[in-house]
Each structure stands twice: as structure tokens, then as C-alpha cells.
Amino acid sequence: MRVATHIEGPTADTLIDTLDRRLIELTQAGLPLLSRPYHALARELDTDADEVMRRLRRMQDLGIIRRIGAVPNHYALGYRANAMSVWDVSDAHIDTIGRLVGSLGFVSHCYRRPRLPGIWPYNLFVMVHGHDRDEVLEQVRMLEGIIAADCRGHELLYSTRILKKTGLRLKT
């Protein structure tokens, strides 16, 4: 039996089956913190780890799941200066610049957002983390070296608190 679910974004009409739905429900709070998390999920789902991985890969390919990765608490790891750098990058070059910047080791998030004319001119968002503000400023100088030729301006917005981070959630 296939179950239709509403999923935000470009995959809103994608169908998932009952096993996919159970897998999403089991991983909504994250993967089990075990050496073999896919095997633990497989036991819960009465299937094998290869099937769990195949389904997760398929849902990634369809855009239902964007990525699977660790979500660290940067403050707990000693990174006290966390900042979103926002950039007004030319539309003609944003995809190329975004891929390059997103591949840098000190960048944890890099994504494009629409500008709000007259309110917010920035379309490229790049999150960086440092042990202190000097480290963050050095990282931003490196970004400037990459982005400057195609950038009309940028700002640096420091985090003041940790917001709740969540993954995929099914609407009930």
C-alpha cells in the first residue's frame, strides 16, 4: 500500500510507502547514536540495513531528504563566535560561487535565498564558526577574496543563541 503525504518543497507530490514513513518517523529525532545505526533501524523495521540505506538514498535522490549529516552544537565544541555572513552576489555567478564557498571546510551552511527588494538585498547566506570573532573575521576575509568580484555588499550577523535544529517532520 502506498501512502501520500504532503512534503514541503519541490517533492510535495512524491509518494512514500508505509516503510518509508516508518523510517522517517524513526529518524525524525536523528539517527541512533550507535556504531551501526542503519542496522538498529533495520531491526526496528523488520528489514535489513541495505534496505534502510537504499530507501534513504532513494528519498535523498527524490528530494524528500536533503542530506544526512551530523548537527553539532558548536558552542559545546568551543566555537563561541558563530556568524551568518550574507552577500549580495550577482545572479549570473551565484551558483558557481555558492558551490565553491560551500565546499570550504570552515563553512557549515551555504545557501541561496531570494532578495526582498528595498528591504533585504542579500541572496547568498554563508554560516561560519570560530573560537573567537578574530577567527570568524579571518574566514570572512577569505570569503571576500572569493566573492568580492561578483558581490555588491555583505554583512556579518553573529549568533546570540542556539535555535532548535530539526530534520524532516511528517505532518500528521
Domain check: are 87 and 57 in the same one?
no
Domain check: are 31 and 94 in the same one?
no
16 in a structural domain? yes
Q: What tens digit of pLDDT does each residue of 18-56 get?
A: 999 999 999 887 888 889 999 999 999 999 999 999 999
Domain check: are 57 and 97 in the same one?
no
* 28 or 72, greater pLDDT: 28
Closest CA to 125 of 145, 92, 147, 105: 147
76 in a structural domain? no
Containing domain of residue 139, as a range?
Answer: 81-158
pLDDT at 32: 85
pLDDT band at 74 (very low <50, low <70, confident <90, very high): low
Average pLDDT of every residue of the chain: 84
Domain check: are 12 and 51 in the same one?
yes
Q: Count how many domains the chain has.
A: 2
Indicate the residue type of 54. Answer: R
38 in a structural domain? yes
Proportion of the chain above pLDDT 70, given as a percent: 81
